[in-house]
Amino acid sequence: MKASEPSTNIASDSPDDQPLLSSPQGLQAVLDNLDALVYVSDFETHELLYMNAYGRRNWGQFEGRRCWQVLQESDGPCTFCTNHLLIDSKGNPTPPYIWEFQNQVDQRWYQCRDRAIRWTDGRLVRMEIATDITDRKQMELALKAAHEKARAAALEDELTGLHNRRAFFEFGMQALKQARRNKTSLAAVMFDLDHFKVINDTHGHEAGDEVLRRVGELLKAKVREADIAARIGGEEFAILLTNSTPGEAREMAERLLLLIRSNGIPFRNVKIAPTASFGLAMMSDADTRLEPLLARADEAMYESKTGGRNRITVYSEPGSGQA
């Protein structure tokens, strides 16, 4: 091939149009030794017009087949096909579109550089250069999973699997903001196991732990997805009930009170029947933070304690009489 002849049969858009290689074989050798997939497919029919050796090695022969048949083994054009992103409103090629995805055939991750170019006959074709980024992606995914696990662990009460105090305040504040925004109700129920020290002293700390675990399980089984339940202290639990009337919140507290005291918790050869004192308060218009709402529920719970334990007190404003 003479130096003035084009080095490739792909229409070039390089500014100087200088041939870079002395022969098509040279260009072929470069493309076939690339450590990346290069392919070209018809913009409309998706027929594969070219695939380098890397592609043929990994995805097989391409002649007479469409890109989605060879590269994705799918029944039709891919839902994530990027062709529409490669041309402007007038149908002219735009700068390369770069994205990452996991190939359905070999399950490896690729960074793809997609571009619309003019083929030898002038038609628009799609060219993709895809580099294997699986190692990097796996590291990123492992790191993300580790972050998520660490965050979940930091928000979980290890003993019961409920939210811990920190999570209760973090998610509780979101629930309060949402309730204020949507003008919906928010109820706080707090309860504390009665004479828990006696349980520990009589049956041992392990027995106490088992009681806490079982109470946690009861709680988890009773709350709805949108509610927030937590162990916020040693033997103290709290629940935020979203979208609940005072009556519904009280019903929930009553169910829990009965469940806790009526199902003796087996531990080794004994059954431990704890009781709990409950306090209930409803969010008021003045509550812009969680603390005042919880302080009222706590005050009601304290009344349950001083009133004889094993009961529910609904907070009522001083002077308005108790519910």
Ligand X SMILES: Nc1nc2c(ncn2[C@@H]2O[C@H](COP(=O)(O)OP(=O)(O)OP(=O)(O)O)[C@@H](O)[C@H]2O)c(=O)[nH]1
Residues marked as catalytic: 235
Q: Is residue 215 near ligand X by the rule CB under 6 A?
A: no
Tokens of 22: 């002395």
Residue type, 148: E
Q: Is residue 12 near ligand X by the rule CB under 6 A?
A: no
Q: Is residue 208 near ligand X by the rule CB under 6 A?
A: yes
Q: Where are the alpha helices (DSSP H) in the chain?
A: 24-32, 53-59, 67-71, 134-155, 165-182, 196-203, 205-222, 246-262, 290-306
DSSP state of 91: S
- Cα separation, 242 vs 186, in Å, equals 5
Among 197, 255, 268, 271, binds ligand X (CB under 6 A): 197
Q: Is residue 156 near ligand X by the rule CB under 6 A?
A: no
Q: How far is the CB of 167 from ligand X (least distance, A)?
A: 17
DSSP state of 84: G
Q: How far is the CB of 177 from ligand X (least distance, A)?
A: 31
Spell out the long-range contacts of 60-66 with Cβ–Cβ below 8 A and sequence spacing 24 or more: 66/41
Q: How far is the CB of 212 from ligand X (least distance, A)?
A: 6
Tokens of 265: 């918790």
Q: Is residue 56 near ligand X by the rule CB under 6 A?
A: no
In the bound state with ligand X, the residue whose beta carbon lies nearer, of 60 and 204, is 204
How many other β-carbons are positioned within 10 Å of the β-carbon of residue 7? 18
DSSP state of 7: S
Give the number of residues in contact with ligand X, rule: CB under 6 A: 16
Among 42, 100, 209, 217, binds ligand X (CB under 6 A): 209
Among 50, 97, 101, 196, binds ligand X (CB under 6 A): 196
Among 26, 161, 234, 264, binds ligand X (CB under 6 A): 234
Beta strands in 61-152 (DSSP E): 97-102, 109-118, 124-132
CB 38 within 8 A of CB 55: yes
Residue type, 260: I
Q: Is residue 194 near ligand X by the rule CB under 6 A?
A: yes
Q: How far is the CB of 235 from ligand X (least distance, A)?
A: 5
Q: Which residues of this chain interact with ligand X, rule CB under 6 A?
A: 159, 192-197, 200, 205, 208-209, 212, 234-235, 305, 309
